[in-house]
A and B are shown apart, each in its own frame.
Chain A
Amino acid sequence: MKEFLMILKGNGLATLSPEEMQKLLQQYKQWVADLGDQYVTGQRLENHGALLENKDSIVTDGPFLEPKEIIAGYFLIRAEDQAEANNIALSSPYLGLYTIEVRPLVQPLMH
């Protein structure tokens, strides 16, 4: 099993109706339950923060990017390979609201 980071980009929730949000919550809980051990963790990011490009400039309190490029949150999952990880992302209720980038973590060296 490898670990994959799913990076969610966009601001899809802003346009959801209350009813759709409640449905999403239920779908999400079902999705996590279905994943079982393959779900490791997940977190939402605040919309603001700081952007550092070099030692001289710190830009704080975004948004610094186009809305569709804003990182909204991430999930860490376990999967056999990229294909399985992609399928997990495909089954996520967040796909459609956000674009999802699925990237394998570099495996730590075994001692």
Chain B
Amino acid sequence: MEAPDSSTNQLVDHLFRNEAGKLVATLTRIFGTIHIDLAEDIVQDTLITALHHWSNGNIPENPAAWITQVAKRKVLNELKRTKSSKNHLANVLKHVEGSNHIEEVFLSEEIKDSQLRMIFTCCHPQLPVASQMALTLKTLCGFGISEISKALLTRETTINKRLYRAKQKIRALEISFEVPSGKDLEKRLNSVCLALYLLFNEGYNSSHRRAVISKDLCLEAIRLTQLLVQYFQDQPKLSALLALMCLHAARFEARTDHLGAIIIFEDQDRSLWNKELISNGMHYLTKASVGKQLTEYHLEAGIAAEHCLSKSFADTDWNSIYHQYEKLYQLKQNPIVLLNLAIIKSQTESIESSLRALEKISGNQQLKDYYLLPMTRGILSLKSGHHTKARDFFQEALKLTRSPQEIAFIKSKLKLCGDPINPGGAFSNRSE
């Protein structure tokens, strides 16, 4: 008999995806990293089984536990089947001692542990960073190929190739399924941090922002970083990374527009910022403020914190932000940091000095195709009343993007250039 309240039993959001991520890690622990494919196949088969059983309307009381149970049974069947054969897998599985061991790895703490091992496997420094991201999404986040391709804005065939080569390399290098320790840890952890940082940025800065998948990408990066923070209590760098993710994600909903640059803060509705994420972010930032190592994650989290804690755009402590960007540039010679430094000068000094600074970096090779550079120069020129110059900059920006949202944004600015009565336009300071 079905319980009377079973009709209220809804499938939680992303249940299949979440369970797939956990199970692939758990099964890889059983079969070894060289058999990630087998782990993925069994998980796929498990989900198909669930799909068919539940199609008849009998969704179990605890769907996640049901899926785990079926996966476990399929693993045991697989073990029985391979034991008699003489292939490599049979050799690998000799250490697997019957169902007791299997029961253990399915305990919730052990599932977390398997996921940690999987993070270090996927983000192994010997794998190209692009492959690290694809592999992480596939095995840890339960993304399908088409979802990864949308999330990373890369063609499906390319993603398939990357995954294939990455798994080949894992086999060739015989990367062990372990959380590294000792001397190895520092290097491996740096690689993991960078991959998760890039994963987050990919979701946060994607110009295809309307796709829900961008947000999922950010949330997944946060989830995995959280796992790491829980495990490595003495790694302030991890807390700093998590802080920066929370503080950026807090503003996710408020960015109704598609631009990620500082300029857009000016027009954001701060009441839409997620207060819980801000307070989480501040918690981790405090946790990160120990020890002697100041990382780029600390500084970026610090800058994000300044923005999150300012009551309004006008109240922002631009001097502090400028100072932190300067330090950041010492750690990371990134032209985007230079761009931000130049933009902030419009707050700390004057629009003219900001425009001069922007002109100085306009020759930078790495910024040559970056539409936000001419865009920013256009907006600032417009503010200072130089409409003809502004128009030229906007025209230049228009050539550098193909995103429809960005084109619409530039065109809305271009309209303002021909109208000297309205010099401030949409970017005049609304917050009083």
A interface residues (Cβ-Cβ under 8 A, vs B): 13-22, 24-26, 28-29, 32, 42, 44, 73
List chain A residues, Cβ under 8 A from B15: 22
- CB nearest neighbor in B for A13: B48
Task: Tell me which of A15, A18, A42 has the highest count of chain B C-beta atoms within 10 A of its own C-beta.
Answer: A18
For residue A9, give the distance in angstroms from its CB to the closest CB of chain B.
16
Q: Is A17 in contact with B11, judged by CB distance below 8 angstroms?
A: no
Q: Is A28 in contact with B55, judged by CB distance below 8 angstroms?
A: yes
CA distance A24 to B47 in the complex (A): 12
Known A-B contacts A25-B55, A29-B55; the reply to A18 vs B48 at CB < 8 A is no
Judge if B349 is at the interface, Cβ distance under 8 Å: no
List chain B residues, Cβ under 8 A from A28: 55
Known A-B contacts A22-B15, A25-B11; the reply to A17 vs B55 at CB < 8 A is no
Known A-B contacts A18-B16, A22-B11, A22-B15; the reply to A13 vs B142 at CB < 8 A is no
CB within 8 Å of A: which of B317-369?
Answer: none
Interface size class of B (residues with CB under 8 A): 20 to 34
- CB nearest neighbor in B for A41: B56
Q: Is A17 in contact with B51, judged by CB distance below 8 angstroms?
A: no
Judge if B146 is at the interface, Cβ distance under 8 Å: yes
Q: Which of A18, A24, A32 contacts B144 (CB 8 A)?
A: A18
Judge if B164 is at the interface, Cβ distance under 8 Å: no
List chain B residues, Cβ under 8 A from A26: 11
- CB nearest neighbor in A for B46: A18
Summarize A's interface: helix, strand, loop or mixed: helix
Known A-B contacts A16-B144, A28-B55, A29-B55; the reply to A21 vs B11 at CB < 8 A is no
Q: Is B54 in contact with A17, judged by CB distance below 8 angstroms?
A: no
List chain B residues, Cβ under 8 A from A16: 144
Which 5 A-B pairs rank lowest in CB-CB distance, beginning with the nearest?
A: A17-B144, A18-B16, A22-B16, A18-B20, A18-B17
Q: Which of A17, A29, A42 contacts B146 (CB 8 A)?
A: A17
List chain B residues, Cβ under 8 A from A17: 17, 142-147
List chain A residues, Cβ under 8 A from B146: 17
Task: Tell me which of A14, A20, A22, A24 has the highest count of chain B C-beta atoms within 10 A of its own C-beta.
Answer: A22
Supply 6 A–B pairs (Cβ within 8 Å), ascending by A.
A13-B48, A14-B48, A18-B19, A19-B143, A20-B144, A21-B16
Q: Which of B17, B51, B142, B145 contacts A25 (CB 8 A)?
A: B51
B interface residues (Cβ-Cβ under 8 A, vs A): 11, 14-17, 19-20, 44, 47-48, 50-52, 54-55, 57, 142-147
List chain B residues, Cβ under 8 A from A15: 144-145
For residue B127, give the distance in angstroms from its CB to the closest CB of chain A.
22
For residue B76, give the distance in angstroms from its CB to the closest CB of chain A.
18
List chain B residues, Cβ under 8 A from A14: 44, 48
CA distance A44 to B52 in the complex (A): 7
For residue B56, give the distance in angstroms from its CB to the closest CB of chain A.
8
CA distance A20 to B51 in the complex (A): 11
Task: Tell me which of A14, A16, A32, A73 has the highest count of chain B C-beta atoms within 10 A of its own C-beta.
Answer: A16
- CB nearest neighbor in B for A31: B55
For residue B137, give the distance in angstroms from its CB to the closest CB of chain A.
10
List chain A residues, Cβ under 8 A from B51: 13, 21, 24-25
Q: Which of A18, A42, A44 contacts B47 (CB 8 A)?
A: A18
Q: Is A19 in contact with B57, judged by CB distance below 8 angstroms?
A: no
CA distance A13 to B57 in the complex (A): 19
List chain A residues, Cβ under 8 A from B19: 18
Q: Is A29 in contact with B47, judged by CB distance below 8 angstroms?
A: no
Known A-B contacts A13-B48, A14-B44; the reply to A19 vs B14 at CB < 8 A is yes
List chain A residues, Cβ under 8 A from B50: 21, 25
CA distance A20 to B143 in the complex (A): 10
List chain B residues, Cβ under 8 A from A29: 55, 57
